[in-house]
């Protein structure tokens, strides 16, 4: 090969040396004739993008040309730089280094988990073991309370010295008013309930509860649910005693049917 010989000139000289025409070569490799002419003319812009190097290698294999031997000429072809095979000696060195690192990691892990007696490490003495048995405090007695678990959230008492617990939770907006009896000295309370916004006031003594949109409110007084039975948009008024019991209104009296005269009962006009 001449120092300034290109890939196209190299392949053209090899084809001529083998006595092959471009037409026969194109038919044998199933390539367009213009591609072979472009390769031999080093006109790489005619070839499809990304195909100059693969087509040149295909043509070189058929003509028996080793392009790896002509690296300088082949690297002038357009396209991405091809991957060069790694050096076997470098691969062996990398495997040895990785093996040594793995062994060292295992030894360090064993040293941290299972320290040997030669290290001389001893756990520091605990103040519990250094004290005599007589100095240790006795264990606390078992709890007899209703909720012995430490940190457990106790339920709020429905009735205590602060008053009666009233729990209200709305599914829509509702105006609420609580009016204690005047002799109790407590002030009336009013609030607009929002969606899923609970209100848990305490009321002292008997009181009256007013709901503007009662059908969307769940009512509990002194821990007991109050089924007021009202629908959405309806108002409701409930009276409660000092213990939080609902004072249901008496059902309306049913008027008695008028008595028929004796002659009408007998069927005579």
Residue 8: how many other CB atoms lie within 10 Å: 21
Please check whether residue 56 is in contact with residue 11, taking contact to mean a CB–CB distance below 8 angstroms.
yes
Per-residue burial over 143-177, b = 16 or more CB atoms within 10 Å of its CB, e = otherwise: eeeeeeeeeeeeeeebeeeebbbbbbbbeeebebe
DSSP 114: S
d(CA 23, CA 238) in angstroms, rounded, equals: 106
* 3-state SS assignment for residue 160: strand
The answer to whether 172 and 216 are in contact (CB under 8 A) is: yes
Contact 67, 74 (CB under 8 A): yes
pTM: 0.39
Q: Are 56 and 42 in contact (CB under 8 A)?
A: no
SS3 breakdown of the chain: % helix, strand, coil, rounded to 5?
A: 35, 15, 50
Q: What is the pLDDT along the chain (269 residues), one digit of tens a residue?
A: 455 678 778 888 888 888 888 888 888 888 888 888 888 888 888 888 878 888 888 888 888 887 777 666 767 677 655 555 567 788 888 889 999 999 998 888 887 776 555 555 566 666 556 656 555 667 766 655 554 455 445 577 888 888 889 999 888 889 999 998 887 778 899 999 888 778 999 998 899 999 998 888 999 998 889 988 888 889 999 999 988 898 887 777 666 666 656 555 555 55
**Which residues are within 8 A (CB) of 70 and not within 5 positions of it... i.e. 6 or more apart?**
1, 7, 10
């Amino acid at each position: 090969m001449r120092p300034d010989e290109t890939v196209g000139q190299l392949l053209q000289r090899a084809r001529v040396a083998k006595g092959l025409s471009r037409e026969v070569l194109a038919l044998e490799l199933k390539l367009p004739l213009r591609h072979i002419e472009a390769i031999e003319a080093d006109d790489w812009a005619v070839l499809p993008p990304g195909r100059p190097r693969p087509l040149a290698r295909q043509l070189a294999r058929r003509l028996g040309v080793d392009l790896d031997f002509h690296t300088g000429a082949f690297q002038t072809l357009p396209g991405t730089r091809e991957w060069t095979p790694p050096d076997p000696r470098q691969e062996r060195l990398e495997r040895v280094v990785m093996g040594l690192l793995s062994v060292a990691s295992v030894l360090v892990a064993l040293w941290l988990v299972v320290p040997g007696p030669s290290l001389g490490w001893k756990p520091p003495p605990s103040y519990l073991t250094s004290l005599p048995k007589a100095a240790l405090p006795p264990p606390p007695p078992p709890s007899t309370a209703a909720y012995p678990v430490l940190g457990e959230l106790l339920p709020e008492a429905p009735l205590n010295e602060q008053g009666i617990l009233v729990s209200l939770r709305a599914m829509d907006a509702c105006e609420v008013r609580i009016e204690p009896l005047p002799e109790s000295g407590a002030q009336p309370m009013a609030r607009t309930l929002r969606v899923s916004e609970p209100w848990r006031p305490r009321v002292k003594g008997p009181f009256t509860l007013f709901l503007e949109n009662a059908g969307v409110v769940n009512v509990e007084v002194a821990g007991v649910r109050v089924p007021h039975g009202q629908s959405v948009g309806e108002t409701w008024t409930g009276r409660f005693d000092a213990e939080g019991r609902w004072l249901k209104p008496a059902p309306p009296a049913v008027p008695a049917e008028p008595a028929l005269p004796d002659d009408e009962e007998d069927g005579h006009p």
